[in-house]
Copies of this chain bind each other. A is one copy, B any other.
């Protein structure tokens, strides 16, 4: 207005322009009690006119707060790539963080060997005020570590003995629905190709698979554990199909493995779904464009990110415990890769791709 927007006005400039002390400006800006309405309005207006933005580093120093949240991903980059989860999750996190003037500090470490050091450094350097805990593992060492470091956290999914708030999106209904869907199509031998069993979600999903099979009086013993890569998915599929009595349907724990399974089936001249039905998980964008279009399980990682960010900010700010949040569960999306067991003769040997019968 009157004054040109100087290179970064400070709180001192605002105080001077408003004719009050720096302390009062600070109180008004952080709307704390003990400032008259008139003063507050006046100060806020002057601050806006000056284009004032508090210095993050100065605030950080005096409050020991970084105004940032951290996410450390302990997966091989190739596996992250294959998974549509993280980019969407991060987009959701960002959406609420920026609205609160917070930044996201991301760290990707190859495996979980160095993650301990990463969390310690993040805490020691006060780089973040709290962290998102994804890919929860059984007896996850990060829980006691963060408790020891005094670093607030939010977990994606509940885990026993955790002092941190959880944001849960139940994906077991998705796996159960996929299994049930196959059973209803007449399948009796159904295999489950799962992720690393040390990850809680892999365990939970497998439990859902097993329970659904058991409820139908079927054997749930056909299981292959993988590391979530397409390579493992392909290998697991090959092993299953080499069985004397191979499955007629396979439930995969992510889309890349399911797509790799599709490849193996095609290579062997099997018809999908005629000879082998296949379901994926995560419903990545390519899922509906492979042939046949992949039946998969869909959740909402972006929503998950938003909810997790809100809970984390609450946990950072609040004295009192933050309540757990439950998001709408994952659900099955049926496409063309699943169907009834074929009655025709089972073909054998490799076939030229998609050649007509």
Query: Which residues in A have some Cβ–Cβ distance to B below 8 Å?
Result: 8, 53, 55-58, 60-61, 64, 66, 68, 77-88, 90-91, 94, 98, 101, 103-110, 118, 121, 124-127, 229-231, 233-234, 256, 259-260, 262-267, 269-272, 274, 284-286, 288-293, 302, 347, 349, 351-357
Contacts and interface: CB of A to CB of B under 8 A. Distances in A.
A56 B127 contact: yes
B88 A289 contact: no
Name, among A56, A68, A126, A270, the residue most crowded by chain B CB atoms within 10 Å (CB to CB). Answer: A56
Contact of A57 (B61, B82, B271): B61
Given A61-B57, A94-B107, A263-B291, A357 B354 contact: no
Name, among A103, A262, A357, the residue most crowded by chain B CB atoms within 10 Å (CB to CB). Answer: A103
Q: How many copies does the complex hold?
A: 2
A264 to B, nearest CB: 8
Contacts of A230: 285-286, 288-289
B266 A353 contact: yes
Contact of A108 (B57, B83, B90): B90
A271 B288 CA distance: 20
Contact of A53 (B80, B86, B125): B125
Contact of A81 (B103, B109, B284): B284
Contacts of A57: 57, 60-61, 64, 66, 126
A122 B347 CA distance: 60
A302 to B, nearest CB: 7
